[in-house]
Structure 1
């Protein structure tokens, strides 16, 4: 679908990700074969499958870190290889892909999430710093801003990567096992956050998780579609009235 056609669709029916007969292999080992699936605006998609089924590979294909051997992927109605508005997408890869010796502070890592919307060496504004404060507070790591990322525990590092992905208030958030190494209280807060964003902040989610109970508790007991060993659980939010507040931290406050 071209960009003009996508723009004409009603808000909650616009295609955010269109996967069209995508296949991919690592060497002689097929990982994905003729996969098609569509994610629409305000969908929350939970992707479940055993190790080796291609979950992380699919996410890397979507964000452009890998290229399909055949088939195509569109983002917001634009072919993925021509999509320029990367600030509209937040991506949290598996923590195992991170180099713990990377010499950057927590604050620098979170602020780097803004680089997609401006030139790398352009001066950060006061508003940018406030966005960073908000993201740090949301993930309850505001006291870690000056620490080196490599000096943190695994759970703390994961909170930093989540804050980095959230700093732009993206339209589409892609999460690859985001809860690995996070304590139970932080998991609960994080689910509260993403549920609220899904329902009230016009945000679309694609999340890989091994936590079947969490996926089913919010997205339903049965997958909407299956493809090979992959199962796609989907919940759509029809809420049309966005939250009056725009900061992130308010989503963690007690409601009612």
Structure 2
């Protein structure tokens, strides 16, 4: 059993404010995310959900206040390989000249190691992530050639490859078919319950958020609502990487399809 301190702050927001072109987006935002929390972030269009995530990962600087990651101010934080981040699909430049394999492997790079040498172990992680998301046949295609749903699978594989301690997801299932959505939610609930990982997810799927995180938000700020579930008991899996549960889920789905096919023929 791992020694887990479930009271450690993973994300801390202290009086965070942000304005865009003189329009206030966030004002005096205070919230903390503790180890093994699952936070679902809900808000209307223009509520600042994506802005908040971008501040947390250091892509935007707050106008005032402090954001801490694992106890360190974002400006001083160095362990970016501990964080997996899937931005909104519409933030991606489709002309970016990279293959699917290159995009997934880039999830292993930290901001301090942009040109690290890819090892055999890294290649194996990449193959596992590609297989888990059922995109291994797309490995050599340019990312801009893919459909929106395929691109999102690539970005999910990229975020999962490094086995992050914190996974930040901005509308991760937009453009993905319902079967893949079901599988993805199954996977992240499994990871939350059985692994030492913390989730912060923006989603438009109120039914999914409330079914797992409860009917009432844990906190509200402006137009934002924070739903929260804490996983107290760490039930270790034999496997401790993120992709194994995706692979198992894919096998289960394939088995179900085989059963349906046989049933149709009988």
Pairwise TM-score range, normalised by the shorter structure = over 0.9
> Is the contact between residue 134 and residue 247 of structure 1 (CA under 8 Å) also seen in structure 2?
no
Report the aligned-residue RMSD: 1.5
Contact 1:24 1:31 in 2 (8 A): yes
Structure 1 residues 84, 218: closer, same or farther in 2, change over 3 A? Answer: same
CA distance, structure 2, for counterparts of residue 134 and residue 62 of structure 1: 28
Name the residue aligned to 1:31: 25
Displacement of 1:152: 0.3
The reply to whether residue 232 of structure 1 matches residue 226 of structure 2 is: yes
Structure 2 residue aligned with 1:119: 113
Unpaired stretches in structure 1, ≥5 consecutive residues = 1-8
Cα distance in structure 2, aligned partners of 1:10 and 1:113: 25
CA pair 216-99 structure 1, distance change in 2 beyond 3 A: same
Preserved contact between residue 193 and residue 235 of structure 2 (Cα < 8 Å):
no
Alpha-carbon displacement from aligned partner over 1:171-225 (angstroms, at most 9, x marks no partner): 0000001011000011011111111111111110000011100100110011011
2:171 paired with 1:181:
no
Aligned residues: 247
CA distance in 2, matches of 1:239, 1:10: 10
Return the offset for 1:54: 0.7
Q: Residue 213 of structure 2: which of 213, 219, 226 is its match?
A: 219
The equivalent of 2:258 in structure 1 is none
Matches within 5 A, 1:4-19: 11-19=5-13
Whether contact under 8 Å (2:195, 2:234) holds in the other structure is no
Q: Say whether 1:242 aligns with 2:254.
A: no
Q: TM-score, normalised by structure 2?
A: 0.90
Residue pair 1:134, 1:248 contacting (<8 A) in 2 also: no
SS, match of residue 44 in structure 1: strand
Aligned pairs (5 A) from 1:125-204: 125-204=119-198
> Structure 1 pair 86/38, CA: closer, same or farther in 2 (3 Å)?
same
CA contact (8 A) 1:16 1:39 kept: yes
Contact 1:87 1:168 in 2 (8 A): yes
1:134 Cα offset (Å): 1.1
Structure 2 SS opposite 1:11: coil
Cα separation, 2, equivalents of 1:10 and 1:243: 15
Q: Which has the larger radius of gyration?
A: 2
CA deviation map 1:87-131 (0-9, x unaligned): 000001001110001110000000001111763233210000011
Which of 59, 81, 91 is residue 87 of structure 1 equivalent to?
81
The whole-number CA distance in structure 2 between the counterparts of 1:159 and 1:232 is 26
Deviating more after overlay: 66-75 vs 115-124: 115-124
For residue 68 of structure 1, the aligned residue among 62, 68, 74 is: 62
TM-score when normalising by structure 1: 0.93
Query: Any idea what the Cα deviations from partners look like across 1:112-169, whole Å, max 9, x if unmatched?
Result: 0111176323321000001111111111111111111000000000000010000100
